[in-house]
A = this chain, B = another copy of it.
C-alpha cells in the first residue's frame, strides 16, 4: 500500500482519501488536474513527503492529458497545469518542490513523448526515493527500541504523511518487522485529531497494538511507567529547535521530567540550516477548529482562541534525531548534517 501512486495505464493518480479515515478507506483515482487540486486543497492528501509526490505526479498526469504534439506548445501547456497544482497550497514547500523537480527533468526533452517519459520517471523517482528514505529512518530508529517497548507518539508521522512506511511510525514498523514486540500509545492530537483518526487507523491496519489517549494524559501514562520512549516526526528542524505539531513540546518536557528518551524521526530534508527558532513564525489556524466539532459547538461561538499549528521543542529536550543517515545524538553537529543532506 502506498498513500499516493501513479498508474500510467489509466493515466490516474491514486491516493487514499484521508479525510474519510477512520470511517472509510477509499482510494481515489484522479484523472484531471482540477480533481487533483481539489484533493490537495481539501487535505485528502497531506504531509510534506506525500505532497512532494502529489506535485510530481500532478505534472506527470498533465503530460498525459495534454493533446499537444508540438513540444514548443506542449511545455507551456504543462507549465500552466504545474503552476495550478503548485499554487493550491502556497505554504506547502514540498508540493512546489515536487512540481519543479519534474518540470526541470523535462527540460531537455526534444519531443512530447520524451517529455512524458522523463516526467513519469522523475515523479516515480520522487515517490520511490521517499520510501527508501523512510525505510532507512525506520531501520536506523528501530535499533533504539527494545523488544516489549511501548512508544508514545503524537499526531501522524506515518505512512499517510508520506508515500509509504512513515517516519516516527516507520521506526515502529521497522522494529516490528525485525521481530520486536512494540506497542504504541497514540495521543489524539487536538484539534484535528490526526493521532486518533490516522495513527490509530494505521497501527490497527498493520496489527500493531495501539492505545488511544487524550493529549493531556501523556504525563499520567509516563508517571505510571507505561512509556519507554517518545518518537515523533518533525515539520522543520533548526539548529536549536524541532518544529512539530502543537503539543509536541509539552510531551518533550514531560518526557524529560520522567527520564524518558525523546526521539525525533525525520528525513534530512527537514533540516533548516539557515534559520533559528527565533526566525520562524508559527502559523495560527482557524479558531473554529477548537470551537466546533463538525456542527457541534464545543465552546461559545465567539470565544477568543489561540490555535498555533506547531510548537518549538528546544533541542536540549531531544535525545536524538533519527534520519536516513543514522541516529544523531544531541547536541547535533549541524555542519556534519548539512554535508549529509
Q: Which residues of A contact B (CB under 8 A)?
A: 22-23, 154, 185, 187-191, 193, 196-197, 200-201, 204, 209-221, 223, 246-247, 249-254, 256-257, 290-291, 293-294, 296-308, 311-312
- A303 near B214 with CB under 8 A, answer no
Contacts A215-B215, A250-B250, A311-B220; is A196 near B293 (CB within 8 Å)?
no
Q: How many copies does the complex hold?
A: 2
Main secondary structure of the interface of A (DSSP, over half): mixed
Q: Which of B154, B185, B254 contacts A250 (CB 8 A)?
A: B254
Distance between Cα atoms of A251 and B185 in the complex (Å)? 19
Contacts of A298 in B (CB 8 A): 188, 193, 196-197
Could you tell me the distance in whole angstroms from the C-beta of A324 to the nearest C-beta in chain B? 28
A213 touches B306 (CB 8 A): yes
B residues in contact with A223, CB < 8 Å: 249
**Beta-carbon nearest neighbor of A293 in chain B:** B293
Task: Please state if B249 and A253 are interface contacts (CB–CB under 8 Å).
Answer: no
Q: Which 6 A-B pairs have the closest CB atoms?
A: A216-B247, A219-B250, A196-B299, A215-B216, A293-B293, A190-B214
CA of A300 to CA of B188, assembled, Å: 12
Contact of A200 among B211, B214, B294, B299 (CB under 8 A): B299
